[in-house]
Amino acid sequence: MHFEERLIEYFKWFHKNPELSYEEYATTAKIKEILTQEGVEILPCTLETGLVAIIRGAKKGPVQALRCDIDALPIREETGLSYASEHDGKMHACGHDLHIVVGIGCAVLLNKKREQLEGTVKIIFQPAEESSLGALKILETDIMSDVERIWGIHADPTNDAGTIGIREGAVTAAVDRFVVTVKGEGCHGAHPDDGRDPIPAAASMIQAFQTIVTRNVNAFHPALLSVTRIEAGNTWNVIPESAQMEGTVRTMDKKDRSLFEQRLKEIAEYTAMSYGMTAEVQWIAGPPATVNDAKMVSISMEKAVKLGFKVVPEESSMGGDDFAFLEEKIPGCYLKVGTGRGQLIHQPGFMVDPEVIMPTVKYVAELLIKN
């Protein structure tokens, strides 16, 4: 079986066997099995799931890395593919199965071309990207200690196969989460004057939070705040003691990120106070914005054109990626690979055209082999 055919078979296996964040044991074992069969060196490391392949070039050069995330999502697949998920309620709906086989393909290809390879390449098969924190597992080890720059790819169903999205600067947002608990005093629903109703206070906060976007942030800066959950009470005739809301903030600019945290806490606390109550605010920081290095962008554009890809401006997204944690340490570049137009990522009908696998492998290997 030719190399390209093997990669497609590997892709189908990973698609059929998705595993959620921090549960990627079979996925890790399969990657290890394939790389071992293909003669690729695997670094010893302390990761519970995920692993790192290393290719040591014959020529002097930098230590580079390619990040390939490996986890799936808790989504029931509705693609109708012959190789659809065999695990109900779990699906590779974000293209990580593609990322895995591109990493495997690059490792095998570069291993065969060690005489041409300038420097060393680490292929990082990272767990738990969908948790937004899996990259921190990588940073808990010494895997990144000698890496000088890092590349990342992501499946893109908004563009045709044969397309690469590239852009300098911020391409994904910082991802932060907040939980606000409003504490009042419960009482009978017929006698609200006997207590302090937290529900109107929570409603006022939800409205006021949007003024951070419309009145505090530069109108030319991408930013958003979404309240995605609100809970209060458990019956129809009792005013509850407390109400809780949860949501997310997305920003591209570091100063805006700090501003949101400050203003959200101020609005919550002072609004609660105006209603005679208190508010507790939890701010749970996630990954920062992903920012593409200008020099790496130039290299990636040049080589994409050389290999016959159509290059388009990479769409900026208010979605996030924990690749940004790795990029905080060293220069990085995060590229979008057109996978054929269809349902968007995180949807049950999302599909990757297997025909994009080999061209993407050749492109990413070209980015890594000579600098």
- The residue written with tokens 């606390």 in the block is 269
pLDDT digits (tens, 9 = 90+) for 86-138: 999 999 999 999 999 999 999 999 999 999 999 999 999 999 999 999 999 99
In order of their start, the domains of the chain are: 3-172+289-369 (3.40.630.10), 174-285 (3.30.70.360)
Q: What is the pLDDT of residue 1?
A: 74
CB atoms within 10 A of CB 80: 8
Return the number of other C-beta atoms located less than 10 Å from residue 38's C-beta: 17
Do the beta carbons of residue 201 and residue 242 sit within 8 Å?
no
Q: Can you give the pLDDT at residue 123?
A: 98
Q: Which two tokens stand for residue 302?
A: 């040049």
Q: How far is CA 152 from CA 26, 215, 232, 309, 319, in A?
A: 23, 35, 42, 17, 15
How far apart CA 28 and CA 194 sit, in angstroms, is 59
Which pLDDT does position 371 carry in this prediction?
Answer: 67
Q: pLDDT value at position 276?
A: 97
> What are the CA-CA distances from residue 362 to residues 105, 273, 354, 368 (Å)?
8, 60, 14, 10
The runs of H, that is alpha helices, within the chain are 3-16, 25-37, 96-112, 134-139, 198-211, 254-274, 294-306, 323-327, 357-369
Pairing of the two strands 187-188 and 163-166: unpaired
pLDDT tens across the length of the chain (371 residues)? 789 999 999 999 999 999 999 999 999 999 999 999 999 999 998 999 999 999 999 999 999 999 999 999 999 999 999 999 999 999 999 999 999 999 999 999 999 999 999 999 999 999 999 999 999 999 999 999 999 999 999 999 999 999 999 999 999 999 999 999 999 999 999 999 999 999 999 999 999 999 999 999 999 999 999 999 999 999 999 999 999 999 999 999 999 999 999 999 999 999 999 999 999 999 999 999 999 999 999 999 999 999 999 999 998 899 999 999 999 999 999 999 999 999 999 999 999 999 999 999 999 999 999 76
pLDDT on residue 370: 78
DSSP helix/strand/coil, 178: strand
Write down the pTM of the prediction: 0.92
Closest CA to 201 of 281, 273, 280, 249: 273
